[in-house]
């Protein structure tokens, strides 16, 4: 089939006028039967790289997917587009499973979604071989690598299952794989070297912001107040944290739901369905709410606690703005978060090489939080990608100013050294500010040379500086059991004047400033809403129609049409089915199914 014919099928079936960057080359290699590893950012259309070949060329494509919820959403979306797809997983009943096997036997299915566990069931792969497998797609392929942030041992055995299926061409896809992870995927998953496509990791529609924790609930509420009515995800490190924060946000008038692995399966499913179907729901979740999120119009992601790694951070913020429209991210962090993450590494049973790599990854995460310069540049540099300043992060927007912190650092590091390199940030801050606390006087630290040398600055400033020095790897934990800090080689170099230190300016934790900023943002949002005018009202009407249809059919709202399609409808105002056909995301099947309903909604909204 020619390239033009492939584009025609892309438009007719899926409603897209052309391929997204990178898709055409990957699809061509996959259709030619060559093994392929594709690294593409979230929201770049990875699934189309195996879905379109399956539709165009017939046969059966088996898709290995890590989560049942993700399989369910993909199958429903394909069915809505008229593509024969099904899944086999543990959540299905006997009747549904029997129906899927019948479809496989008569060769009517184009795509079959399975979990790695099901794929490895005795005899399963051999049975698929008898039915004829044309291609194998492995989604979230970073799970195959111990260097990846979501390692799953079952992924290691996919190559063995592929052999049992008759060695169909493999297409492995992921959004998060640095050089080491890519090498591990190639070694573990492919019997022969694949073609490797690594596209930009950049998500230019995401704005990146980080802030030290001062009053986390107030900081989060201020951030959300400027985004009322938008869908978003708020990640917490603990189950209890999700419950507390969701309750606090609900009391503030937000439609907030807690989500974690401790909830029963029905509650989790009900809450996920609400998040998928409705606008304006804030999901307060642990990372249990992760790879299964397939909602394209998530407008923000907040980390209430420091992420576990740069890869995890990238994967989690990647849930926002998958429709390509602007989205915001905010990450809060603290010294306690950093100490916990470092302690978790130290407590793992790792060999020397792996421990060194883990500490290097931790260092990259802390520098992303506390480093100088463009956040996006730092993030992309971690994935070996050079880029100019983004102009959208908090550094580029001038929200973060830098200072020469060498003299302050020397005072703090001297206090750490003179107190015996075993005390925590609070104790060191007391020494520096000349506070004769019970612990300070008991240890006679009120008699050392550095007692009171920092009394010109508040205790909170020195506490913040200790966090920055820890993040800059000038300090490390003295003891995993008792905490406290000691100097590193870098810390000694700064203390003795061999190295200068430039750090972001510490921000004073004032309620007035946060509230004033919130009031300014609220006024700005009101102006923007007014400026939206008639088009905003039309878009709202289209969203109401979409929600009604989604509830009626029991599917996620974006499966009817994503926000991007509705925004184009509101702007273009199609008056006929032919005009509706030209809207991006409206394929033939959806035109027949929903076209008249949305034309009616447009007509009513524009009277």
Tell me if 365 is assigned to some domain.
Answer: no
- For position 208, what pLDDT does the model report? 93
Q: What is the total count of domains within the chain?
A: 4
Per-residue pLDDT, averaged over 328-356, amounts to: 83
- Residue 576's pLDDT band (boundaries 50, 70, 90)? very high
Distance in angstroms (rounded) separating the CA atoms of residues 296 and 319: 8
Which residues are CB-contacts of 45 (< 8 A; sequence separation ≥ 6)?
A: 19, 20, 23
**Domain identity same for 500 and 538:** no
**Domain identity same for 81 and 155:** yes
**Domain identity same for 180 and 216:** no
Domain at 431, CATH number: 1.10.10.10
**Domain identity same for 186 and 211:** no
Digit-coded pLDDT (tens) for 72-96: 888 988 998 899 999 998 888 899 9
**Domain identity same for 157 and 281:** no
Tell me if 56 is assigned to some domain.
Answer: yes
Q: Of 303, 335, 357, which marks where a domain is finished?
A: 357
Q: 541 or 536, which is more confident?
A: 541
Tell me if 510 is assigned to some domain.
Answer: no
- For position 519, what pLDDT does the model report? 43
For residue 159, the Cα-to-chain-centroid distance in whole angstroms is: 27
**Domain identity same for 107 and 156:** yes
- For position 339, what pLDDT does the model report? 82
Digit-coded pLDDT (tens) for 158-208: 999 999 999 999 999 998 887 888 999 999 999 899 999 998 889 999 999
Would you say 148 and 181 are in contact if contact means Cβ atoms under 8 Å apart?
yes
Q: Of 333, 357, 381, which marks where a domain is finished?
A: 357
pLDDT of 527 over the 50 cut = no
Question: What average pLDDT does the chain have?
Answer: 87
> Residue 343 sits in which domain range?
206-357
Least trusted range by pLDDT, from 36-45, 50-59, 395-404: 395-404
**Domain identity same for 313 and 211:** yes
Would you say 544 and 565 are in contact if contact means Cβ atoms under 8 Å apart?
no
**Domain identity same for 238 and 138:** no
- For position 477, what pLDDT does the model report? 82
Tell me if 556 is assigned to some domain.
Answer: yes
Tell me if 554 is assigned to some domain.
Answer: yes
Write the DSSP string, 289-302. Answer: SSTT---TT--EEE
Tell me if 590 is assigned to some domain.
Answer: yes
**Cα–Cα distances in angstroms (integers) from residue 354 to residues 180, 360, 382, 479, in the given order:** 12, 10, 18, 21
- Residue 468's pLDDT band (boundaries 50, 70, 90)? confident
**Domain identity same for 473 and 432:** yes
Tell me if 547 is assigned to some domain.
Answer: yes
**Domain identity same for 290 and 169:** no
**Domain identity same for 223 and 82:** no
Domain at 8, CATH number: 3.40.50.300
Record the pTM.
0.74
Q: Residues of the chain with pLDDT > 70: what percent? A: 93
- For position 557, what pLDDT does the model report? 85
Digit-coded pLDDT (tens) for 494-503: 999 999 998 8
- Residue 214's pLDDT band (boundaries 50, 70, 90)? confident
- Residue 153's pLDDT band (boundaries 50, 70, 90)? confident
Tell me if 396 is assigned to some domain.
Answer: no
- Residue 490's pLDDT band (boundaries 50, 70, 90)? very high
Per-residue pLDDT, averaged over 204-223, amounts to: 91
pLDDT of 551 over the 70 cut = yes
**Domain identity same for 188 and 213:** no
Domain at 552, CATH number: 1.10.150.80
Distance in angstroms (rounded) separating the CA atoms of residues 329 and 300: 5
Q: 53 or 373, which is more confident?
A: 53
Q: Of 182, 198, 214, which marks where a domain is finished?
A: 198
Would you say 305 and 237 are in contact if contact means Cβ atoms under 8 Å apart?
yes
């Amino acid at each position: 089939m020619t390239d033009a014919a492939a584009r025609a099928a892309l438009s007719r079936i899926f409603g897209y006028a052309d391929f997204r960057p990178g898709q055409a080359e990957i699809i061509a290699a996959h259709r030619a039967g060559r093994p392929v590893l594709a690294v593409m950012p979230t929201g770049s259309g990875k699934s189309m790289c195996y879905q379109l070949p399956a539709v165009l060329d017939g046969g059966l494509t088996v898709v290995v997917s890590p989560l049942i919820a993700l399989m369910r959403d993909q199958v429903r979306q394909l069915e809505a587009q008229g593509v024969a797809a099904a899944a086999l997983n543990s959540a299905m009943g006997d009747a549904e499973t029997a129906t899927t096997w019948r479809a496989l036997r008569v060769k009517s299915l184009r795509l079959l979604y399975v979990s790695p566990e099901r794929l490895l069931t005795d005899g399963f792969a051999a049975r698929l071989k008898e039915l004829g497998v044309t291609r194998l797609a492995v989604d979230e392929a970073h799970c195959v690598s111990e260097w990846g942030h979501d390692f799953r041992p079952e992924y290691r055995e996919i190559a063995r299952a592929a052999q049992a299926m008759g060695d169909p061409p493999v297409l492995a896809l992921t959004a998060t794989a640095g050089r080491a992870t890519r090498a591990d995927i190639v070694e573990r998953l492919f019997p022969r070297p694949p073609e490797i496509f690594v596209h930009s990791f950049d998500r230019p529609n995401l704005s990146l912001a980080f802030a030290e924790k001062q009053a986390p609930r107030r900081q989060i509420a201020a951030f959300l107040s400027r985004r009322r009515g938008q869908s978003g995800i708020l990640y917490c490190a603990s189950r209890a944290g999700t419950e507390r924060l969701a309750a606090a946000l609900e009391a503030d008038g937000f439609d907030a739901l807690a989500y974690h692995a401790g909830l029963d399966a029905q509650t989790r499913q009900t809450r996920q369905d609400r998040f998928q179907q409705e606008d304006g729901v804030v999901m307060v979740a642990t990372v249990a709410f992760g790879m299964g999120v397939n909602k394209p119009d998530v407008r923000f992601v907040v980390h209430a606690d420091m992420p576990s790694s740069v890869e995890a951070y990238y994967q989690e913020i990647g849930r926002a703005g998958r429709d390509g429209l602007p989205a915001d991210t905010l990450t809060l962090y603290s010294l306690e978060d950093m100490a916990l993450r470092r302690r978790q590494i130290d407590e793992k049973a790792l060999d020397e090489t792996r421990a060194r790599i883990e500490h290097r990854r931790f260092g990259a995460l802390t520098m992303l939080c506390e480093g100088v310069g463009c956040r996006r540049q730092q993030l992309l540099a971690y994935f070996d990608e050079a880029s100019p300043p983004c102009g959208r992060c908090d550094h580029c927007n001038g929200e973060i100013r830098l200072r020469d912190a060498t003299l302050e650092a020397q005072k703090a590091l001297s206090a750490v050294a003179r107190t015996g390199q075993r005390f925590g940030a609070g104790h060191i801050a007391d020494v520096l500010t000349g506070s004769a606390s019970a612990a300070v006087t008991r240890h006679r630290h009120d008699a050392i040379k550095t007692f009171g040398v920092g009394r010109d600055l508040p205790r909170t400033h020195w506490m913040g500086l200790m966090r920055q020095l820890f993040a800059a790897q000038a300090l490390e934990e003295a003891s995993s059991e008792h905490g406290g800090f000691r100097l590193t080689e870098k810390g000694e170099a700064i203390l003795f004047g061999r190295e200068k230190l430039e750090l972001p300016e510490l921000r004073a934790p004032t309620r007035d400033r946060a509230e004033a900023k919130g009031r300014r943002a609220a006024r700005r949002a009101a102006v923007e809403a007014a400026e939206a005018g008639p088009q905003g009202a039309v878009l709202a009407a289209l969203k109401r129609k979409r929600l009604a249809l989604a509830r009626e059919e029991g599917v996620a709202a974006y499966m009817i049409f994503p926000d991007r399609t509705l925004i184009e409808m509101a702007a273009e105002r199609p008056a006929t089915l032919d005009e509706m056909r030209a809207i991006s995301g409206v394929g033939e099947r959806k035109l027949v199914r929903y076209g008249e309903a949305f034309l009616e909604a447009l007509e009513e909204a524009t009277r």
